[in-house]
């Protein structure tokens, strides 16, 4: 059984003894019930990881770090998922699975047809919640770099930001399919996939995307739910690109 992995947002160095942050120590000692002398792995999101040994002193926990391991589990290219905000807690699922599938960033978009609308303190809490999900998913799946989760914005606001690489918008009536479009972009290093919410993108949003150079692609003969479509595209694209 592999050692439990923890994201630890402090400087880490081989051969040192570091105090575990309170929340991490609570999870390790009270939730997982790890004992003094047990093995664990720490990473701080800057790449690589450190095998460590847990040292318990009262309610406090410390990690005795071993040699740095440069192990990575990232895709060969960068994939950003721009996800129209779905209803309920579906975004939780999208964030978690996007981490597992290797996405570098998830950009929630408050689309015109999004049922979920967030603002103020509720927005801040939801973004922090998604970022915690991304952290937990990284711990579980073996990634040593955290996937970024942006605060929601409108599609027009997102399109106004500079983006590198190929940008593809999922649309069932598009002329080209995903595989054909990717074949036309040899040597691609950065890919952005745009998926609408329930009900899809509005005509205005489709027009804005076209004007910004986003290319529409279709993906199979079936209609996928919004929380499925982006993840399926991400998985298929990384396989087609050999990432």
The DSSP result for 70-114, as a single string, is ------SSEEEEEEEPPSTTHHHHHHHHHHHHT-SEEEEE--TT-
Report the b/e string of 175-204 with b at 16+ CB within 10 A: eeebeebbeeeeeeeebbbbbbbbebbeee
The pLDDT score that the predictor gives to residue 164 is: 78
How far is Cα 53 from Cα 57, in angstroms, rounded to an integer? 13
Is residue 99 within 8 Å of residue 141, measured between CB atoms? yes
- Return per-residue pLDDT of the chain as tens, 243 residues: 589 999 999 999 999 999 999 999 999 999 999 999 999 999 999 999 999 999 999 889 999 999 999 999 999 999 999 999 999 899 999 999 999 999 999 999 999 888 777 778 888 899 999 999 999 999 999 999 999 999 999 999 999 988 779 999 998 888 899 999 999 888 999 999 999 999 899 999 999 999 999 999 999 888 899 999 999 999 999 999 999
Which H or E run includes 195?
strand 190-195
The pLDDT score that the predictor gives to residue 1 is: 59
Question: Phi/psi at 86 (nearest 5 deg)?
Answer: -85, 170
- Global pTM value: 0.93
The pLDDT score that the predictor gives to residue 121 is: 83
Is residue 192 within 8 Å of residue 158, measured between CB atoms? no
187: DSSP letter: T
Among candidate residues 234, 242, 232, 170, the one with its CA nearest the CA of residue 206: 170
Q: Which tokens hold the place of 136?
A: 């937990």
The pLDDT score that the predictor gives to residue 122 is: 85
Question: Phi/psi at 123 (nearest 5 deg)?
Answer: -65, -45
Largest CA distance in the chain: 64
């Amino acid at each position: 059984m592999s050692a439990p992995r923890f994201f630890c947002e402090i400087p880490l160095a081989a051969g040192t003894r570091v105090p575990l942050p309170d929340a991490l120590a609570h999870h390790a000692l009270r939730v997982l019930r790890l004992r003094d002398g047990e093995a664990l792995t720490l990473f701080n999101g800057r790449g690589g990881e450190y095998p460590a040994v847990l040292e318990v002193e009262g309610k406090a926990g410390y990690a005795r770090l071993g040699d740095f391991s440069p192990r990575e589990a990232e895709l060969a290219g960068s994939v950003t998922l721009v996800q129209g905000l779905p209803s309920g807690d579906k975004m939780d699922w999208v964030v978690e699975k996007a981490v597992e599938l290797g996405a570098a960033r998830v950009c929630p978009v408050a689309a015109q047809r999004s049922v979920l609308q967030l603002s103020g303190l509720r927005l801040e809490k939801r973004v922090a919640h998604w970022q915690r999900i991304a952290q937990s998913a990284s711990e579980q799946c073996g990634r040593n770099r955290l996937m970024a989760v942006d605060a929601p914005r409108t599609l027009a606001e997102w399109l106004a930001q500079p983006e590198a690489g190929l940008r593809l918008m999922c649309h069932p009536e598009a002329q080209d399919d995903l595989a054909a479009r990717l074949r036309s972009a040899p040597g691609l290093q950065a890919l952005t996939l745009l998926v609408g919410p329930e009900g899809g993108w509005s005509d205005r949003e489709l027009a804005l995307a076209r004007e910004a150079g986003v290319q529409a692609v279709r993906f199979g003969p079936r209609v996928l739910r919004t929380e499925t479509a982006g993840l399926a595209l991400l998985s298929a694209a990384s396989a087609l690109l050999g990432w």
